[in-house]
Structure 1
Amino acid sequence: MTQMTLNDGRSMPQLGMGTYQIPDTQVALVVRKGLDLGFELVDTAAFYHNERGVGEAMQGSEAFLTTKLWNDRHRDAEAALDESLALLGVDAVDLYLIHWPRPSEGAYVDAWRSLVALRDAGKTRSIGVSNFLPEHIDAIVAGTGVTPAVNQIELHPRFQQREARAYHEAHGIVTQSWSPLGQGGTLLHDPAVEAAAAKHGRSAAQVVIAWHLAHGLSVIPKAADAEHLSDNFAALDLTLDDEDIAAIDALDDADGRIGPDPAVL
């Protein structure tokens, strides 16, 4: 498992497990299976309502744990993190993210200031953001002098976020891809993806995950069963060639966003 160096000197596994929309009653079994396979990063959030199950699965594990601050708690981040820690059954998480900037609320800079204090207090080892645009990051850095370690954003071959990635690279921020498979469906049946899968004798999902890894992105695909978890993990030993990567790079579409636009949410 490749470890990515964060701008605070800590490291984070490049490939992890996403847990969005996995119910609290089922997520412990899924996470245990993933950890048994060799996954070393688990991503959850207060908004997912499954932190208790994630924490149950991770008891005794040293895997990297991420959770997130939801939109209605920007002015109450310390209490929100305390609630997450209680559900997870841990004293601290490895990474705490502001889930969305919600610029219309005007509180994300204050929320970031709180996260800096929570890191300094030892309740989270690293801090970052999710779905932040460059102007939002500029604002929190101007307000605190602290650059986020990670920005977790929607990113997949049909929405490659090249400008955001360039900004992150220039500022020492790790780009982490959510919805990395584009929610499956037509992307996994695209001729460029299918051609690479046939060439290497691999699944389409493995090809797309390997594309993220080849671009130096952290990636957290969700899987709710053992077969898909195993398939995702196997992408670690798939190396795409330049032709494969170029063909998938060509799928980029400025209108390819699936989730909400952070500028207006």
Structure 2
Amino acid sequence: GLGYFQTIGIPIVRGRDFSRGDTATSAKVVVINQTMAQQFWKNDEPIGKRFKFFGDQDYSTVIGVARDSKYNAVAEDPQPFIYQPLAQNYTPAAALHVRAAGEASSLAGAVRAEVQRLDPTLSLFNVRTLEEQIAQSLQPQRMNVVLLTVFGVLALLLASIGLYGVASYSVSQRTREIGVRMALGASPSSVLGLVLGHGMTLVGIGLVIGLAIAYVTAGFARALVVGVDPHDLSTYVVTAAALGGVAMLASYLPARRATRIDPLIALRTD
């Protein structure tokens, strides 16, 4: 309908918008989006081009090109799209878009009253704001984020427990070695660094392998999470720092225990 692009906020980048002259009896016209213009008329001017819909007898002329938008879901990739004037493609189940200067949710009653005043036979249903529409569209992605977060936390917890177990086992197996080092004058800080270094080496190898796999398979995340670049460097840096911090904490407790080993007891136990 008239004013649709202005109401929704989609600019016409080439050509013109629909006008009152585009009626049911006038020549058929359409506005296409940038993706369709690029796909069908990549090196040509799309304005003025004519094509025919399947089943139609009359040709439709391209009068404008609108900026790409989202049509079915926020996460969708750009796709070709055609706009037709309501007068030339009327459907009883039309959508009415209202642009509000204030709180949009408070205008539902006023819009219903105005529609009833214009035509008492018309009825409005499924009234919602654009924010509510977007929220509903993002609901599956939000559920995916919640599930990924839960599984991620569980995986991090299991990894921490496993690393703690490995570090504790390493300390128990190297009790004599640690005792000898301390008997020869090794300081508690050097013993702490020895055990931590062993644990962080394992973590470093795991991080390199994990980040490489994550980078290669990051494209699959586009369908799960909206608004996040799967190849964003900061995401990998923050993730690596968080995992490294948790791993260091898990390794610190066994390492701290190793610094308290009595050399005499350690040498006697072998």
TM-score by length of 2: 0.21
> Is the helix fraction higher in 1 or 2?
2
TM-score by length of 1: 0.21
> Is the strand fraction higher in 1 or 2?
1
